[in-house]
A and B are shown apart, each in its own frame.
Chain A
């Protein structure tokens, strides 16, 4: 009798603890998510007023003057990202093909997989430092090429890893079918690529999203420039380094432009990531 009573009290205590923890966890979750959403909202609120027509069409004015835009930086960021993608994606995919199709149990495969992991975790500023030593010092000039290479090096491990993972999901029977009718190995791989298309596109888009918001690797490679990007062998204007420089400047107009550029970068990255998610969903369907 007494035992049953104790159990009931015990149960009440447990239920109270359960309720308390549920409420606490929900509140903590709400707090964490709320702060993150607040950050995005604040960027949108402060950035939107700066995004007039001139922002997208004109060059920045001299320091301290009002007006002008960041058209050169927008163009430069697009050029850097496109060049990096053109270099990084094919190379990364080929390495992914090796890991998935040839190097599954080889010693080279294991070594490369290890390097892919190391490079994935490498802070992006060190990529910039490395590219500075091999492409900026010897040529004695900051350049768009160096910036694009730095971004490409950041994409490489991401693309290689997704390619390997996505190709590994393709059933072996598909490749064997192609080989059985006399197709060469590369054609069988091409068929596997087709089967893994959705996942591969997702991987590439995520890699593009990641590098298009990178600042650190561009600080001592592409640098920045107040002019139109004319050649990739000179410093190239770009949005992220512009944000850094403008935010640290004492001019209110430049700080407002830094907010505008931040909003633009954030919108581009989020759109690309969303796009990547829709492709990923297509794959699972």
Chain B
């Protein structure tokens, strides 16, 4: 392989206009290098922008629940907690449903159904998050306050999770809207993973007399388990930083509350709601530091996803 490449490259070097290819290569390398520069610059600028807040609050910024623009006291606890809670709700709802829909499309539905529906789900994954935000605020939130929240507090009201006035907007609503938003995305990746399970493996199951459900559960899902975990990580990365779908319905309140009915905020929603209005340098700096925290969270998820998919590729040859 390398030998052939060497013979190919040889006439290249003898080409009369020898500046062309170095220039081409240089341009391409410069464009590629720009990505390194950009990633470094983002980390640098976010750190530099939060220097005021870093200097004033130090590491206690991470676990302080204060958020008072008037007295200039800021902490990230409510935003970090809100980000994690809304993402957890979204993943808990979206992952099982995605798995079921993907299984339905790959194993159960006839091609006449699974092809158009699969294509439709891929299209739905492209719907901008602001659409989900609009629907969440004007259609889903009233539904929550009129029906879902009263129902939950009637039947599960002994849990602190479901106490408080049914306002419609709040952490639970944000989590559900987030789940709906990442649902088509996770589903279409899972469907791709499940479709790559070789038919021979499944046929072996049917040959043993297994039912469709048994093959789906014990063969298809097991074979694609790691790929599907990758799909979940990709969805997680999306959910954590999602802004608009959450901002519309979470209520933007810097308070940590045990009840999922209460208004809260996430890092992204705090930025979207407050950044344009913040004038005080310390306030701005605290918001940028929130951004830095979000960057580090997504960076960690990215690293995990990357490592996971790399391991997957090495063990499965080709796969996801």
Task: Give residues in A with beta carbon < 8 Å to B.
Answer: 14-15, 17-18, 21-22, 24-26, 28-29, 31-33, 35-37, 39-40, 42-43, 46, 91-92, 94-95, 97-99, 101-103, 108-109, 111-112, 114-119, 121-127, 129-130, 132-134, 153, 156-157, 160, 176, 179-180, 182, 184-186, 189, 206, 209-210, 212-216, 219-220, 223, 240, 243-244, 247, 255, 258-259, 262, 265-266, 269-270, 273-274, 277
B102 to chain A, nearest CB (A): 9
Q: State A165–B128 Cα separation when bound (angstroms).
A: 25
Q: Could you tell me if B128 and A213 are in contact, using CB atoms closer than 8 angstroms?
A: yes
- B77 CB-CB contact with A under 8 Å: no
- B197 CB-CB contact with A under 8 Å: no
Q: Could you tell me if B130 and A130 are in contact, using CB atoms closer than 8 angstroms?
A: no
Across the interface, A39 reaches (CB within 8 A) one of B103, B180, B241, namely: B180
Q: A121-B301, A123-B294, A133-B48 are in contact. Are A32 and B241 (CB under 8 A)?
A: no
Q: State A117–B305 Cα separation when bound (angstroms).
A: 10
Considering residues B48, B104, B128, which has the most beta carbons from chain A within 10 angstroms of its beta carbon? B128
Q: Which residue of B lies closest to A157 (CB)?
A: B35
Task: Report B22-33 CB contacts with A as 1/0, cut-off 8 Å.
Answer: 001101111111
Q: A25-B108, A153-B38, A182-B15 are in contact. Are A277 and B213 (CB under 8 A)?
A: no
Q: Could you tell me if A115 and B104 are in contact, using CB atoms closer than 8 angstroms?
A: no
Across the interface, B211 reaches (CB within 8 A) one of A18, A125, A134, namely: A18
Q: List 17 A-B contacts (CB under 8 A).
A: A25-B100, A25-B103, A28-B100, A33-B120, A40-B127, A98-B28, A115-B38, A119-B39, A121-B301, A125-B243, A126-B42, A129-B49, A180-B11, A259-B134, A262-B131, A266-B127, A277-B119
Across the interface, A215 reaches (CB within 8 A) one of B128, B237, B299, namely: B128
Q: Could you tell me if A273 and B134 are in contact, using CB atoms closer than 8 angstroms?
A: no
Task: Give residues in B with beta carbon < 8 Å to A.
Answer: 8-9, 11-12, 15, 17, 20-21, 24-25, 27-36, 38-39, 41-42, 45-46, 48-49, 97-98, 100-101, 103-105, 108-109, 117, 119-124, 126-135, 137-139, 180, 183-184, 187, 211-214, 216, 237, 240-244, 247-248, 268, 271-272, 275-276, 288, 291, 294-295, 298-299, 301-302, 305-306
Q: Which 6 A-B pairs have the closest CB atoms?
A: A123-B241, A213-B128, A94-B31, A18-B211, A98-B28, A29-B104
CB neighbours (8 Å) of B305 from chain A are 121
Q: Could you tell me if B127 and A122 are in contact, using CB atoms closer than 8 angstroms?
A: no
Q: Could you tell me if A247 and B21 are in contact, using CB atoms closer than 8 angstroms?
A: no
Q: Could you tell me if B243 and A134 are in contact, using CB atoms closer than 8 angstroms?
A: no
CB neighbours (8 Å) of A129 from chain B are 46, 49, 271, 275, 288, 291
- Extra contacts, 8 of them, besides A98-B32, A255-B138 (Cβ < 8 A), are A26-B108, A98-B31, A108-B32, A114-B306, A126-B241, A129-B288, A133-B45, A213-B130
Q: A29-B105, A35-B180, A247-B137 are in contact. Are A126 and B35 (CB under 8 A)?
A: no
B265 to chain A, nearest CB (A): 13
CB neighbours (8 Å) of B120 from chain A are 33, 37
Q: State A255–B135 Cα separation when bound (angstroms).
A: 12
Q: State A180–B12 Cα separation when bound (angstroms).
A: 9
Q: Which residue of B lies closest to A92 (CB)?
A: B31
Q: Could you tell me if A22 and B108 are in contact, using CB atoms closer than 8 angstroms?
A: yes
Across the interface, A115 reaches (CB within 8 A) one of B36, B100, B103, namely: B36
Q: State A95–B38 Cα separation when bound (angstroms).
A: 13
Total A-B Cβ pairs within 8 A:
261
CB neighbours (8 Å) of A33 from chain B are 101, 117, 120-121
CB neighbours (8 Å) of B134 from chain A are 43, 243, 247, 258-259, 262
CB neighbours (8 Å) of B12 from chain A are 179, 184-185
CB neighbours (8 Å) of B11 from chain A are 179-180, 182
Q: A123-B268, A216-B272, A273-B126 are in contact. Are A118 and B29 (CB under 8 A)?
A: no
Across the interface, B41 reaches (CB within 8 A) one of A17, A29, A91, A130, namely: A130
CB neighbours (8 Å) of A277 from chain B are 119, 122-123
Across the interface, B123 reaches (CB within 8 A) one of A21, A22, A274, namely: A274
Q: Which residue of A lies closest to B137 (CB)?
A: A247
Q: A15-B211, A129-B288, A133-B48 are in contact. Are A115 and B272 (CB under 8 A)?
A: no
Considering residues A102, A216, A258, which has the most beta carbons from chain B within 10 angstroms of its beta carbon? A216
Q: Could you tell me if A184 and B15 are in contact, using CB atoms closer than 8 angstroms?
A: yes
CB neighbours (8 Å) of B272 from chain A are 125, 216, 219, 244
Q: State A186–B15 Cα separation when bound (angstroms).
A: 12
Q: Which residue of A lies closest to B18 (CB)?
A: A184
Q: Which residue of A lies closest to B22 (CB)?
A: A185
Across the interface, A134 reaches (CB within 8 A) one of B31, B41, B212, namely: B41
Q: Could you tell me if B101 and A115 are in contact, using CB atoms closer than 8 angstroms?
A: no
Considering residues B21, B25, B28, which has the most beta carbons from chain A within 10 angstroms of its beta carbon? B28
Q: Could you tell me if B97 and A32 are in contact, using CB atoms closer than 8 angstroms?
A: yes
Q: State A24–B103 Cα separation when bound (angstroms).
A: 12
A282 to chain B, nearest CB (A): 15
Q: Could you tell me if A36 and B108 are in contact, using CB atoms closer than 8 angstroms?
A: no
Q: Could you tell me if B211 and A17 are in contact, using CB atoms closer than 8 angstroms?
A: yes
Q: Could you tell me if A95 and B28 are in contact, using CB atoms closer than 8 angstroms?
A: yes
CB neighbours (8 Å) of B212 from chain A are 18, 22
Q: Could you tell me if B183 and A32 are in contact, using CB atoms closer than 8 angstroms?
A: yes
Q: State A244–B252 Cα separation when bound (angstroms).
A: 14
CB neighbours (8 Å) of A91 from chain B are 31, 34
Q: Which residue of B lies closest to A266 (CB)?
A: B131
Q: Which residue of B lies closest to A182 (CB)?
A: B11
Q: A25-B103, A130-B45, A223-B276 are in contact. Are A119 and B35 (CB under 8 A)?
A: yes
Q: Could you tell me if A243 and B213 are in contact, using CB atoms closer than 8 angstroms?
A: no
